[in-house]
A and B are shown apart, each in its own frame.
Chain A
């Protein structure tokens, strides 16, 4: 391997659906983390969106139709108090998660607590005509656009306030908002779909990276450490004031020599200056058409055969209060369990349905990690992280429910370097040598490491690492006996 810089390419294959939330909306739906990706053709030229190239008149007509649909949905919501920003959030989720306008309308009504559409005048004919027309797809595209969505909701809100202040009835909805939008640009915009992506922060710093390497050291010796040392190991530590503002270069060199993983992943390690890590991770992109240009050219033909809509799925779960089944069995006193509880003698049952957007099992993702001046020991530390991953081979969220079970293969210039496939960790000769050198380094400098981390082989109450894994060892030996 090149001393200066080299790259390992990783292929992740999902064995169960992967959940990787983006913390964007309320508790009921967690969409998969996504990023806009500018689409380019095979020659690298930017692809412009036809919807964006529409004439202002066409776009204005589409907006009017979208507004009317939204007004009907808003009218069909439940009688609960909803804000327009909540409406906007739910629109975003529905527009993203549905591939047809009909699906969008029905799921939005459902999410707003409505049971069905409430029609006035010729609304029913209007909806039927729009859903059947060729404009349905363009309207859905319009609703997926951040700016357009904000504009439509703002218009809806303004219309509602205008009606309220004029004291008129509910049926009027003909305010010409486009008259005040004359300066809106009508230029073409590049096509930028929101493509699901697995974050590099998770790959580099979680159990597949920094934390995996940290846990490997602690398990290797069966150590327990204090909170500041754990912080330095698990997240790189914090910048701290020290007695002197001077930077002791000798001490920095000695620290990096002693702890190869510090140099690899970087951090402050509770000192007064940061150390830049030598490892740069890339995000893991699914091998699909929309992410094709993020992939190396030799994978693009394969990627173009699959669309991202083929790999995204929505899993729904229900949560039900156990108390419903336990009434009369374990409750101290009889109590009324209602959907909307009021008063002391009643409790809410708190049941709900929630959905999660996932990448389906079988999806392949591509990632790469770039090592700059990584030493042989640092490479060993990197391999050790994958030893930890092999014990807990899950990526993303909700792993306690089985999400994110993954296989991974790392290649160095098309030669397999390390793989974890079908519960078997395989190391190439290079990887084995690096790990052996790393193990030898850890063993040789055990005392110095113990002093650096302030580690102890037992807790204050005398518990050792062997005690904690005793049941596991017993179970494994039983299996062995059979």
Chain B
């Protein structure tokens, strides 16, 4: 059952630098694929920018309406402008270091064992990352409200990069839920009330940019009208 939906969440310390927008259809597609493959999902081949279009899967279980324009299809789901939502950017660091005491304890004790800590795979790293404080992220979509809520609450307790280390952790709403998915009367999944694009829309004289997830795959690039900055 398709209906107009507004989806929002409030991530803390978001690590997201890839581009200007966070795309929810991408998150939902991944959740559906995880559900489809279960434990085997981890062992699937990674998708790279050069993965051919035939190797990509778009299950019907993705709870978003599909739309088509100029022969290009896409999901009816807006993009959240993370740059505009950012209130403050701050730097944080994390360390990856080789544990000398554990290496001493468990190594084979060969006569000549040298670990290079200034270069190569054992290099000591103090990685500085730029994290964003955002007031909240909002998407508009057309799709199945209950299924979207279920997928997001099940698979996403954080968003953005390095989420396994706690970056982009979602702040619970007062009712305890991490995602707010509500039905609305208007459809802003493509254009807002002022007529501005809220996601990339196929256009004859646009810029070349990916139109559907996975957004880093070159096969998904089409000529698009992008949302105004």
Bitwise, A54-69 to B at CB < 8 A (1) or not (0) is: 0000000000000000
B166 to chain A, nearest CB (A): 3
Alpha-carbon distance A67/B54, docked complex (angstroms) = 65
B118 to chain A, nearest CB (A): 15
Please tell me if the beta carbons of A223 and B106 are within 8 angstroms of each other in the complex: yes
Please choose the segment from A272-280, A305-313, A336-344, A439-447 that sits at the chain B interface, where 4 or more of its residues have CB less than 8 A away. Answer: A272-280
What number of residue pairs across chains A and B have CB atoms under 8 A from each other?
Answer: 155
Residues of B within 8 Å of A373, CB to CB, are: 34, 38-39, 41-42
Known: A7-B157, A211-B102. A23 touches B169 (CB 8 A): no
Residues of B within 8 Å of A283, CB to CB, are: 166, 169
Please tell me if the beta carbons of A199 and B165 are within 8 angstroms of each other in the complex: yes
Q: Smallest CB-CB separation from B134: which chain A residue? A: A38
A202 to chain B, nearest CB (A): 9
B195 near A: Cβ within 8 Å?
Answer: no
B221 to chain A, nearest CB (A): 23
Bitwise, B135-171 to A at CB < 8 A (1) or not (0) is: 1000000000000000000110110000111100101
B110 near A: Cβ within 8 Å?
Answer: yes
Q: Select which of B12, B107, B165 is within 8 A of A294 by beta carbon.
A: B12
Residues of B within 8 Å of A459, CB to CB, are: 108-109
B115 near A: Cβ within 8 Å?
Answer: yes
A35 near B: Cβ within 8 Å?
Answer: yes
B35 near A: Cβ within 8 Å?
Answer: yes
Q: Select which of A43, A199, A224, A273 is within 8 A of B106 by beta carbon.
A: A224
Residues of A within 8 Å of B121, CB to CB, are: 231, 237-238, 240
Bitwise, A173-203 to B at CB < 8 A (1) or not (0) is: 0000000000000000110100000011100
Please tell me if the beta carbons of A230 and B133 are within 8 angstroms of each other in the complex: no
Known: A199-B94, A282-B166. A253 touches B111 (CB 8 A): no
Please tell me if the beta carbons of B102 and A234 are within 8 angstroms of each other in the complex: yes
Known: A7-B157, A468-B105. A281 touches B166 (CB 8 A): yes
Interface size classification for chain B: 35 or more
Alpha-carbon distance A280/B88, docked complex (angstroms) = 25
B229 near A: Cβ within 8 Å?
Answer: no
Please tell me if the beta carbons of B45 and A247 are within 8 angstroms of each other in the complex: yes
Bitwise, B72-111 to A at CB < 8 A (1) or not (0) is: 0000000000000001101011111011001101111111
Alpha-carbon distance A4/B105, docked complex (angstroms) = 37
A242 to chain B, nearest CB (A): 14
Bitwise, B1-26 to A at CB < 8 A (1) or not (0) is: 00000000010110000000000000
Q: Smallest CB-CB separation from A373: which chain B residue? A: B39
Alpha-carbon distance A252/B108, docked complex (angstroms) = 26
A467 to chain B, nearest CB (A): 12
A233 to chain B, nearest CB (A): 8
Known: A283-B169, A463-B109. A38 touches B133 (CB 8 A): yes
A13 near B: Cβ within 8 Å?
Answer: no
B103 to chain A, nearest CB (A): 6
Bitwise, A393-425 to B at CB < 8 A (1) or not (0) is: 000000000000000000000000000000000
Most chain A CB neighbours (cut-off 10 Å) among B107, B109, B164:
B164
Most chain B CB neighbours (cut-off 10 Å) among A5, A223, A234, A468:
A5
Please tell me if the beta carbons of B126 and A225 are within 8 angstroms of each other in the complex: no
Residues of B within 8 Å of A225, CB to CB, are: 106-108
Alpha-carbon distance A200/B13, docked complex (angstroms) = 13
A466 to chain B, nearest CB (A): 14
Residues of B within 8 Å of A3, CB to CB, are: 38
Please tell me if the beta carbons of A256 and B42 are within 8 angstroms of each other in the complex: yes
Please tell me if the beta carbons of A372 and B155 are within 8 angstroms of each other in the complex: yes
Q: Select which of A200, A247, A277, A295 is within 8 A of B46 by beta carbon.
A: A247
Residues of A within 8 Å of B34, CB to CB, are: 372-373
Alpha-carbon distance A33/B131, docked complex (angstroms) = 14
Bitwise, A344-381 to B at CB < 8 A (1) or not (0) is: 00000000000000000000000010101101000000
Please tell me if the beta carbons of A275 and B165 are within 8 angstroms of each other in the complex: no
Q: Select which of B87, B102, B175 is within 8 A of A215 by beta carbon.
A: B102
Residues of B within 8 Å of A256, CB to CB, are: 42-43
A122 near B: Cβ within 8 Å?
Answer: no
Please tell me if the beta carbons of B164 and A211 are within 8 angstroms of each other in the complex: no
Please tell me if the beta carbons of A224 and B126 are within 8 angstroms of each other in the complex: no
Residues of B within 8 Å of A33, CB to CB, are: 92
B57 near A: Cβ within 8 Å?
Answer: no
B122 to chain A, nearest CB (A): 7
Q: Smallest CB-CB separation from B133: which chain A residue? A: A38
Q: Smallest CB-CB separation from B172: which chain A residue? A: A296
Please tell me if the beta carbons of A5 and B154 are within 8 angstroms of each other in the complex: yes
Please tell me if the beta carbons of B41 and A192 are within 8 angstroms of each other in the complex: no
B128 to chain A, nearest CB (A): 10
Residues of A within 8 Å of B171, CB to CB, are: 40, 293-294
Known: A23-B93, A190-B87, A277-B164. A231 touches B108 (CB 8 A): no
Q: Smallest CB-CB separation from A265: which chain B residue? A: B164
Alpha-carbon distance A296/B174, docked complex (angstroms) = 8
Alpha-carbon distance A263/B164, docked complex (angstroms) = 13
B40 near A: Cβ within 8 Å?
Answer: yes
Please tell me if the beta carbons of A204 and B164 are within 8 angstroms of each other in the complex: yes
Residues of B within 8 Å of A463, CB to CB, are: 109
Please tell me if the beta carbons of B39 and A227 are within 8 angstroms of each other in the complex: no
Q: Select which of B46, B92, B169, B173 is within 8 A of A273 by beta carbon.
A: B46
B113 to chain A, nearest CB (A): 7
Q: List 7 A-B contacts (CB under 8 A).
A: A35-B131, A211-B99, A247-B45, A252-B43, A263-B42, A372-B34, A373-B41
Known: A200-B166, A230-B103, A231-B121. 12 other contacts (CB 8 A): A5-B154, A33-B92, A35-B131, A190-B87, A201-B94, A215-B102, A234-B102, A247-B46, A249-B43, A281-B164, A282-B169, A293-B172
